[in-house]
Structure 1
């Protein structure tokens, strides 16, 4: 499949509009841009794998990625489906330790890579930049806690409603659409596919979501929030 024609400046312009990079000062953005390179990935192509030596920090420009970690039974568990503006790769880099998670492109995807040598050089020149990367680590840790909290919800209806809202928050430009098939969503939620289908059917019947081919649209956010908090 032919990828969109992206150049680095256009990619950085997208990242300046959302996510961690957008929250950095203009001077910091300029410094990071100087060490950035454009990367493209085909569907299911690995960005990096668990156990690998860190190869930088990655910002998601266009497309989407799957974040997975190895389970104790040797299988990978897909924990998160991230969209534009998401950054990852900082934790292992600054711990000088192997990657804990694997990242794969969920579709043709464009990313910006901040190379490790460049990051370390910038921090040596200005140690205050550590604060900016701490902010990224905090943001990703908060996301991880939200995902754990979601799986801890006993009620399936509440768990599904909560996860749909988390997914729409992670993909703010998707107009409420969660671009996940029901089998993929069932895996994220740790529920059986028949159980998920029944739950989505109830939510659709109530007018809270709309079902599409390989995706679900959140129609009534307040209605889903009411299910979570009732």
Structure 2
């Protein structure tokens, strides 16, 4: 059932009939506390009418993944906006020959799949979730209806999407013009800006295998370049992640001529 009535009463009725309205006790207290906290931090949710914020809260559902799983496949219509509570979501793309590359990662506190709210078309890429992750889901049609009632919410959303787009464009520019280590630095800056929540510590959550494939080099070559960046204090490497202590310093290094 499509969720998206013209008024709040219609929305609540549709949610109840579809089983998407959160029943009392359906979520544990720490889930509810996390959602309320992320609502307060979100510049998009922050401008919504309080009644609509409450409606969005009631529509939330928890999904936990004991093993790696998919949130959606290419060719399917995106039906949900996701909020990562723990673990990690990954945006991947693949070739007809079976090759796969991770092009963005989203850690705890990240909102994932705003495009499903803006444009409910068939997705061209696949979202994966790593084992042990917990996500909060919101019906994208309901979010779209609420956004349309609260037009001011589109401003901060477009601003956030614009920042991600500029980061991707900057990465493309430096990929063509920079030296190898600078290209890696710029890739890390892009990954942090696209998949991060904007707060320190800034983390690019990819394994070395994923990062090497995205960089177009071998793991051995990647290790050398990561070591060069770590030696001058621009990054810290760890299992499945690269931490950037000072994002602006890394960006300056990437842009240096």
Matched with 1:147 is: 168
The correspondence of residues 173-212 of structure 1 with structure 2, limited to 5 A, is 175-212=201-238
Q: Is the 8 A contact 1:20 1:85 kept in 2?
A: no
Q: 1:81 aligns with which of 71, 90, 105?
A: 105
Contact residue 182 and residue 254 of structure 2 kept, 8 A:
yes
Tell me how far apart the structure 1 counterparts of residues 29 and 132 of structure 2 sit (CA, whole Å): 12
3-state DSSP class of the match of 2:74? coil
Superposed displacement of residue 183, structure 1:
1.4
Stretches of structure 1 lacking an aligned partner (at least 5 in a row): none
TM-score normalized with structure 2 length: 0.70
Q: Following TM superposition, by how much is the alpha carbon of 1:8 offset from its aligned partner in structure 2, in angstroms?
A: 3.6
Residue in structure 2 matched with residue 101 of structure 1 by the alignment = 125
Query: Aligned residue for 1:10?
Result: 33
Tell me the CA shift for residue 149 of structure 1: 3.2
Q: 1:43 and 1:187 mapped to 2: Cα distance?
A: 23
Give aligned pairs, total: 223
Q: 1:208 to 1:119 in 2, by over 3 A?
A: closer
Distance 1:120 1:223, change over 3 A: closer
Contact 2:67 2:131 in 1 (8 A): yes
Q: In the alignment, is residue 162 of structure 1 matched against residue 186 of structure 2?
A: yes
Aligned-pair CA distance for 1:12: 0.5
CA RMSD of aligned residues (A): 3.2
Distance 1:94 1:223 in 2: 34
**Counterpart in 1 of 2:86?**
62
Query: C-alpha separation between the residues in 1 aligned to 2:72 and 2:203?
Result: 27
Mapped partners of 1:151, 1:43: distance in 2 = 34
1:61–1:85 contact (8 Å) kept in structure 2: yes
Aligned counterparts of 2:143 and 2:85: Cα–Cα separation in 1: 19
Residue 101 of structure 2 aligns to a residue whose secondary structure is strand
Q: Corresponding residue for 1:215? A: 241
Of residues 55, 71, 75 in structure 2, which corresponds to 1:51?
75
Asked if structure 2 preserves the Cα contact closer than 8 Å seen for 1:56 and 1:113, the reply is yes
Are residue 34 (structure 1) and residue 58 (structure 2) matched? yes
Kept in 2: contact 1:70–1:77 (CA 8 A)? yes
Q: Find the aligned partners of 1:26 and 1:212 in 2 and give their Cα distance.
A: 42
3-state SS of 1:153 partner: helix
Q: What's the CA shift for 1:65?
A: 0.8
2:106·2:112 contact (CA, 8 Å) conserved in 1? no
More moved, 187-196 vs 199-208: 187-196
2:9 matched residue in structure 1: none
